[in-house]
Structure 1
Amino acid sequence: MFKKYFFAFLISSMSLFAHGIFYNVVEGAISVHISSANNISISDAKVKVFAPGGNLPYAKGYTDINGNFAFMPDSAGIWHVKVSMSSDHGSHDKEFNIELSDDYKVKDFDKLPIERYLGILSILGIIFGIFGAFSFFQRKKTIR
């Protein structure tokens, strides 16, 4: 009698897990954040990711409300990303590459031109600032 109720309870309790939410955390996703020039996240931008040497999109979709898009790479190499979005005054497109190492970590990616030259511009600004301050104080001494 006990076995009969035990098996009935066991079978009925198994159906409780059928409606649960299960999840798994996976490492190795590459995330891309899309934003405007004034650092405002762009949601619903269309993103296509192409595997190294691939002509068909490996992953495609839209950025979330925070401007993020993620994909799981399956090989090392240079991945090509195309982003497009439309606004009131037309379509905006951007393409860039992401280089992944053998362990699928980001090795390098195309930086915006302003980011490439930001270090040089900063050094030039410091040099001109020092030269300007020096000139100001030298001029002040000669005027007296």
Structure 2
Amino acid sequence: MHLRFLLILFLSNISLFAHGIFYDVTEGAVNIRISTANNLSISNANVEVFAPGGNLAYARGFTDVNGNFAFMPDSGGKWHVKVIVPSDHGNHDKEFNVELSDDYKVKDFDRVPVERYLGFFSVLGIMLGVFGIFSFYREYKRRKLEKKL
């Protein structure tokens, strides 16, 4: 019973990170790279950048073929970024903040929470999958042996 539950739980969550939106920020003109969980660039993602305390978009546009979008800030502070990635099954939205120093250098930006634990969850998923397959095979052999007796 528990084995079936674990197997169903594993199979239902196998694509949990398949549609995540990840990003990275570099200095200079603030460059934002939009990518998938497996580091494939997302082109034509709609990006809007809002200045600190601003309600109207300071910059807007689409990512290039390499998933990059750049803008030139005119002040330091916490800039807000909205990303919308269209797909055939609906839009994927992501919002995050980029903090710039007074000389327009990137001080910090919101990290994707799962980014820190993605490797751990991947290894854990593989281990649970191997354990599940082994347990399923062992149970199959046991039941087959019981039927013969």
TM-score scaled by length of structure 1: 0.62
Unaligned regions of 5+ residues in structure 1, if any?
1-26, 126-144
The match for 2:77 is 77
Report how many residues are paired. Answer: 96
Give me the identity figure in percent. Answer: 74
The match for 2:101 is 101
Output aligned runs, 1:4-83, within 5 Å.
28-83=28-83
> Judging changes above 3 Å, is the alpha-carbon distance between structure 1 residues 118 and 39 closer, same or farther for their aligned structure 2 residues?
closer
> Judging changes above 3 Å, is the alpha-carbon distance between structure 1 residues 102 and 118 closer, same or farther for their aligned structure 2 residues?
farther
| Residue identity opposite 1:111 in structure 2 | R
Runs of 4+ aligned structure 1 residues displaced above 6 Å come to: none
> Judging changes above 3 Å, is the alpha-carbon distance between structure 1 residues 118 and 107 closer, same or farther for their aligned structure 2 residues?
farther
RMSD: 2.1
Deviation at 1:115, TM superposition (A): 3.0
Deviation at 1:118, TM superposition (A): 6.8
| Residue identity opposite 2:89 in structure 1 | H
| Higher relative contact order, structure no. (Cα contacts within 8 Å, ≥ 6 residues apart) | 2
Deviation at 1:116, TM superposition (A): 4.3
Deviation at 1:117, TM superposition (A): 5.0
Unaligned regions of 5+ residues in structure 2, if any?
1-26, 125-149
Deviation at 1:28, TM superposition (A): 3.2
Rg (Cα) greater in structure: 1
Aligned equivalents of 2:106 and 2:118: distance in 1? 21
| Residue identity opposite 1:77 in structure 2 | G
Structure 1, residues 16-74: CA drift from partner, whole Å, max 9, x if none? xxxxxxxxxxx931000000111100000000000000000000000000000000000
> Judging changes above 3 Å, is the alpha-carbon distance between structure 1 residues 118 and 92 closer, same or farther for their aligned structure 2 residues?
closer
Structure 1 counterpart SS, 2:31: strand
Aligned equivalents of 2:85 and 2:117: distance in 1? 26
